[in-house]
Amino acid sequence: METKLLWEKEDLFDHFVASHPRGDVLQTTKWGRLKATSGWVYYPLGVFEQGRLQAVALILIKGLPLGAKIAYSPRGPLFASPEALEALLQGGKKLLKKEGALAWKMDPPLPEGDPLWLHAANQHRLRFIVTGHDFQSVQPRYVMTLPLTGPLDVLLAEMKSKTRYNIRYAERKGVQVVRVKDRKRLGVFYCLLQETAVRDRFSIRPLDYFEAMWDHLMENNLAQLFLAYKDDVPLAGAICFRLPHRIWYVYGASSNEQRNLQASHLLQWEMIRWAKGLGCKVYDFRGVSGDLREDNPLYGLYRFKEGFGAQLETYVGEYDLPIRQGGYLVWQRGLAFHNWMRKRIRTGSR
């Protein structure tokens, strides 16, 4: 097998990602171009066997203090066989040694306990990163997915009765959902996102990041913005990512005004209908906490997504492949201290 970088064959790389049953927008070169606007460098690594692409990994590399570097393959790698995965990991290690990276982080969307992945992780001494049940990992390990195999009326009938009621209530009250094609309306969504961030106390990226997202993803049919209105007043918004087989609900926002109109429920239903119309097989609600106790502060997020009929999936999780062992251990200690301080600050601000 031959391993090489595919900067001059990015369409081929992206086609493999889009065609793979576990492919994710975060593994496309378009995502790499988006991340390049915030300081990352992307490397589209592929493995060929007899001229056919058999495995890929979009590797993002970013500089750390003191001249160190870290590498990351979000929702990767992707492969067609154990042999292709072996070649990809070997080729990635060689590349990252040359680039001076401390470690290669990866979190493939494979089901927990996947034997092929666990074998490769053991063979290459990948380190499983314990990230807890909430959202300490880079990408969520616990996700809610809705198969789109049945007709729309069946999907609606299988939702919780309260969810169906909220969808129909929003429709009766005149809430309308639009699929946005005008880049200028990003500002409307961003205002809703700022309002949501203040209300729910989380940080958000600057507007220019979403403008870059429009340029690299939405313009290439890899993402779509939706907005919900009542009498021209924006009440909710969402950005979803898309590949032929799957839609991901990635960003959501809502106004503090007229929350009783249940615009967010109708917004989700319209995105599900849109995904079904595209021929997608799965609507992915993305992350929830793995702790499903009702007293968990994040339980409401699970209950909202479960109301649409989504089921919990658990992925293999986050793994690190150390490249420079000594530097990696120092980085891990520094990262642990950083996370501890951030948790203390958050706890102290409550």
Same fold flag, 2-132+316-348 and 142-314: yes
Task: Place 340 in a pLDDT band, splitting at 50, 70 and 90.
Answer: very low
Instruction: With a cut of 90, say whether residue 135 has pLDDT above it.
Output: no
Tens-place pLDDT, residues 156-177: 999 999 999 999 999 999 999 9
By three-state DSSP, how is residue 267 classified? Answer: helix
- Answer for the pair 143, 311: CB distance below 8 angstroms, yes or no: no
To which CATH superfamily is domain 2-132+316-348 assigned?
A: Gcn5-related N-acetyltransferase (GNAT) (3.40.630.30)
Instruction: With a cut of 70, say whether residue 342 has pLDDT above it.
Output: no
Domain boundaries, the chain: 2-132+316-348, 142-314
What is the pTM for the complete model shown? 0.92
Write the burial class of residue 117 (CB in 10 Å: 0-12 exposed, 13-18 middle, 19+ buried): buried
* DSSP-assigned letter for residue 126: P
Q: What integer is the mean pLDDT of 99-122?
A: 96
Task: Place 341 in a pLDDT band, splitting at 50, 70 and 90.
Answer: very low
* pLDDT given at position 201: 87
Instruction: With a cut of 80, say whether residue 339 has pLDDT above it.
Output: no
Q: What integer is the mean pLDDT of 119-135?
A: 89
By three-state DSSP, how is residue 149 classified? Answer: coil
Q: How many CB atoms lie within 10 A of CB 96?
A: 23
Q: Write the CB contacts of 174 (distance below 8 Å, at least 6 apart in sequence).
A: 230, 231
What does residue 329 show for φ and ψ, rounded to 5 degrees?
A: -65, -40
Task: Place 337 in a pLDDT band, splitting at 50, 70 and 90.
Answer: very low
* pLDDT given at position 99: 94
Phi/psi-derived region of residue 50, left when phi > 0, alpha when psi is between -120 and 50, beta in every other case: left
User: 278-297 b/e with 16+ CB inside 10 Å = b?
Assistant: eebebbbbbbbbbeeeeebe
Q: Which of 130-134, 141-145, 243-247, 281-285 has the lowest mean pLDDT?
A: 130-134
Instruction: With a cut of 80, say whether residue 331 has pLDDT above it.
Output: no
Instruction: With a cut of 50, say whether residue 345 has pLDDT above it.
Output: no
Q: Which two tokens stand for residue 115?
A: 């034997």
Rounded CA separation 86/119 (Å): 10
* pLDDT given at position 33: 98
What is the distance of C-alpha 192 from the center of its chain? 20
Q: Which two tokens stand for residue 313?
A: 């999936």
What is the distance of C-alpha 41 from the center of its chain? 19
* pLDDT given at position 334: 61
Task: Place 134 in a pLDDT band, splitting at 50, 70 and 90.
Answer: confident
Q: Write the CB contacts of 161 (distance below 8 Å, at least 6 apart in sequence).
A: none
Q: What CATH class is the domain 142-314?
A: alpha beta
Tens-place pLDDT, residues 199-218: 988 899 999 999 999 999 99
Q: What integer is the mean pLDDT of 123-136?
A: 86
* Mean pLDDT, rounded, of the chain: 92
Instruction: With a cut of 90, say whether residue 286 has pLDDT above it.
Output: yes
